[in-house]
Amino acid sequence: MTEDKSHPEHLLRECAPGAAGGPAAQPPAARVEPLESLSDDDVPMVIATRFLEAFRQPGCPMCFLGQQALDDYFSHWVWDYVSDADLREAMRRGLGMCAEHTWQLLHTDVREYGETFGVSIIYQELVAHTIRLMERVALEAQAREAQRPSRLERLRHWLSRRSAARRWFLPARWRGSPLLKAAECHVCAYRAESERRSTYWLVQVLRHAENRTRYAASDGLCLPHLRAALELALEIEPGVARFLAASAGQHLEALAADLDRYIAKRAWDRRHEAMTAGEQEAAQRASRFFGGLDGWSAERKRLDSI
Ligand SMILES: [Zn+2]
Ligand SMILES: [Zn+2]
């Protein structure tokens, strides 16, 4: 009996040109390969090329692809925001985004367009929405203040305030006002989905020996992405898991040796010994391995940016 290894259909969105985890808000016109036309040997050329390009970049290839996907995402929606009702709704539901993506959006606008017109439009509406929200919260607070309770009700309120103050320090039990609820950052949600797709394709790409050679010459995956790839590969492609673990082991052996030498050469009696570049960079390499690439870079340009 042959194992069914055909690609899950939703992953085939990645086949569409430009769908590099392309912008969720404005998906490119998809030319999706029919599921049955892909055997488990097929990695769409556009996907394979993208990974081979990522293997040539410094740092974790998955971090690199993730950064590209987010750059695309932000660049598109700075332009599309006004006409994209879903996006505006996502911003209202989330009351903006997480701190990381809030700043990434601003920096992307400045870097790519040299100004902040797009981001100004985005916040013009969100600020107006938040003003209305604050008005509703103020009304709610006013209504609570205006209550003139009986003695028994005052006791009840005192107990309920004391209980709320205690729950505040136990976040799992805290139930906040529905008025102030906000959805998860929609860019974080997009990134998580995009990373799942990329992880799947990475495992497929690494089934091929020539791609493994290219991967082995790269800096390798950071630990968060390595763990995700190993989780999946252990289940669907144990050979890829073995390769990834062995390759990471080799990188880590070299890193361990450089860390040891760097620390040893900081000793008083060896302080005049020259450091190699690898030794000097050891702490940065360790940080990149455990933390991945820094999320945003002023130097990075989208490939198709104007
Ligand atoms: Zn990474
Ligand atoms: Zn976020």
How far is the centre of ligand 2, averaged over its atoms, from the C-alpha of 169 (Å)? 25
Say which residue the tokens 């003695």 belong to: 151
- Tens digit of each residue's pLDDT (9 = 90 or more) over 208-229: 999 999 999 999 999 999 999 9
How many beta carbons lie within 10 A of that of residue 65, not counting itself?
24
How far is the centre of ligand 2, averaged over its atoms, from the C-alpha of 106 (Å)? 13
Q: At what angle do helices 209-216 and 238-265 cross, to 10 degrees?
A: 10
Indicate if the pLDDT at residue 36 is higher than 60.
no
- Tens digit of each residue's pLDDT (9 = 90 or more) over 2-26: 444 456 555 545 443 334 333 344 4
Residue 16 has what pLDDT?
38
User: CA geometry: angle at 289 spanning 203 and 297, to 5°?
Assistant: 95
Calculate the alpha carbon distances from 45 to 32, 50, 53, 174, 233 in Å.
13, 8, 12, 49, 21
Q: Are 97 and 91 in contact (CB under 8 A)?
A: yes
Residue 173 has what pLDDT?
82
Type of residue numbered 250: Q
Q: Are 18 and 68 in contact (CB under 8 A)?
A: no
Q: Which residue has the higher pLDDT, 66 or 303?
A: 66
Helix (H, G, I), strand (E, B), or coil: what is residue 57?
Answer: coil
How far is the centre of ligand 1, averaged over its atoms, from the C-alpha of 225 (Å)? 5
First to last CA, the chain: 52
CA distance linking residue 28 with residue 250, whole number of Å:
39
- Tens digit of each residue's pLDDT (9 = 90 or more) over 98-150: 999 999 888 888 887 888 888 898 899 999 999 999 999 999 999 888 877 78
Ligand that lies nearest to the alpha carbon of residue 187, given by its number in the listed order: 2
Q: Are 289 and 259 in contact (CB under 8 A)?
A: no
CA distance linking residue 217 with residue 219, whole number of Å:
7
How many beta carbons lie within 10 A of that of residue 109, not counting itself?
20
DSSP 206: T
- Tell me the residues surrounding ligand 2 (ion) with CB < 5 Å: 98, 101, 185, 187-188
Residue 124 has what pLDDT?
92
